[in-house]
């Protein structure tokens, strides 16, 4: 009796397993799996290839940040279309999800006004194009190379290799300096010489140094400007232009060459001097060094001098 019952249960379980397996692996299910496989195998490579092509096209025709934005737009649009196609194959209607997404988007819009403001500011940045990817910009005290211009923020890499994210809204409201907007830059070299030096001769020497510098441009021509009468020196400005990619090389080389040339020409580069006068129109009081140092007057000596 027990053997017959056990045998019947085993036969029933085996029959149910066969039925479930046959129902699960049906022709319709296999066809659906095949269609999903085709969608993924064909769709994903097409999206990546199309994104790469669009990015390259917009980068060459317009600018690199336009290429990045166009590539992201194509990629995310392709992913959404792929998800909708997969849902359709699985029997889910996208209409209710789209409706729910619309309601959720309105709610998120009210809850994230800062993000919406950044997106609108990002559109203004893209339209105005004050800078592009790989430009060097300065915002407040932050200076760095632009890595990307996105809808919410701009990413910079500073010269000491730090990653900085600046919201678009902040960039719109503040002053932005694009250091590499134009192909050439001017370096202002501060040169101070003693009052006894001949300014015309100093100007000739400085212009000759600029003319012989390998990074300095001949057009616009270098210029020496009389800046001001300093406390201990006459301050001049040597204005020299260079390609923006060679600006640092010019800055280092021109300063070294000016120092070497002034030394060769015996032109004094002064340090601060202090002259002590006993009256408005009198000569300066001579101070004599005794024993390598100034003698200090002791209090008793001062009293004797007063007597």
Give residue 16's pLDDT. Answer: 45
SS in 3 state form for the chain?
A: CHHHHHHHHHHHHHHHHHHHHHHHCCHHHHHHHHHHHHHHHHHHHHHHHHHHHHHHHHHHHCCHHHHHHHHHHHHHHHHHHHHHHHHHHCCCCHHHHHHHHHHHHHHHHHHCHHHHHHHHHHHHHHHHCCCCCCCEEEECCEEEEEEEECCCEEEEEECCCCEEEEEHHHHHHCCEEECCCCCEEEEEEEEEECCCCCHHHHHHHHHHHHHHCCCCCCCCCCEEEEEEECCCCEEEEEEEEEEHHHHHHHHHHHHHHHHHHHHHCCCCCCCCCCCCECCCCCCECCCCCECCECCCCCHHHHHHHHC
Question: pLDDT averaged over consecutive 10-residue blocks of the chain (307 residues)?
Answer: 52 52 61 78 83 80 71 80 77 65 62 73 83 90 90 91 92 91 93 92 94 92 92 92 93 93 91 66 61 50 48
Give residue 110's pLDDT. Answer: 58
Give residue 6's pLDDT. Answer: 55
Give residue 19's pLDDT. Answer: 47
Domains and CATH numbers, the chain: 20-110 (1.10.287), 130-178 (2.30.30.60), 184-264 (3.30.70.100)
């Amino acid at each position: 009796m027990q053997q017959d019952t056990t045998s019947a249960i085993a036969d029933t379980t085996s029959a149910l397993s066969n039925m479930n397996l046959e129902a699960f692996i049906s022709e319709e299910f296999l066809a659906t799996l095949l269609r999903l496989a085709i969608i993924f195998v064909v769709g994903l490579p097409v999206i990546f290839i199309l994104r790469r092509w669009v990015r390259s096209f917009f980068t060459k025709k317009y600018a690199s940040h336009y290429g990045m934005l166009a590539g992201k737009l194509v990629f995310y649009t392709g992913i959404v279309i792929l998800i909708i196609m997969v849902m359709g194959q699985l029997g889910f209607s996208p209409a209710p999800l789209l409706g729910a997404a619309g309601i959720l988007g309105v709610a998120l819009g009210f809850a994230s006004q800062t993000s919406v403001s950044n997106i609108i500011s990002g559109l203004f940045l893209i339209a105005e194009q004050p800078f592009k990817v790989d430009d060097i910009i300065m915002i407040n005290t932050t200076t760095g190379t632009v890595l990307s211009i996105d809808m919410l923020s701009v990413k910079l890499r500073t010269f000491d290799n730090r990653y900085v994210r600046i919201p678009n809204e902040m960039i719109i409201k503040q002053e932005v300096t694009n250091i590499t907007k134009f192909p050439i830059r001017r370096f202002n070299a501060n040169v101070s010489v003693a009052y006894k030096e001949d300014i015309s001769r100093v100007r000739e020497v400085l212009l000759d140094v600029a003319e012989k510098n390998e990074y300095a441009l001949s057009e616009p021509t270098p210029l020496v400007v009389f800046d001001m009468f300093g406390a201990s020196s006459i301050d001049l400005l040597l204005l020299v232009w260079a390609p923006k990619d060679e600006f640092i090389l010019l800055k280092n080389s021109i300063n070294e060459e000016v120092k070497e040339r002034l030394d060769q020409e015996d032109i004094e580069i002064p340090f601060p001097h202090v002259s002590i006068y006993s009256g408005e129109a009198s000569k300066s009081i001579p101070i004599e060094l005794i024993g390598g140092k100034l003698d200090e007057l002791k209090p008793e000596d001062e009293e004797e001098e007063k007597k």
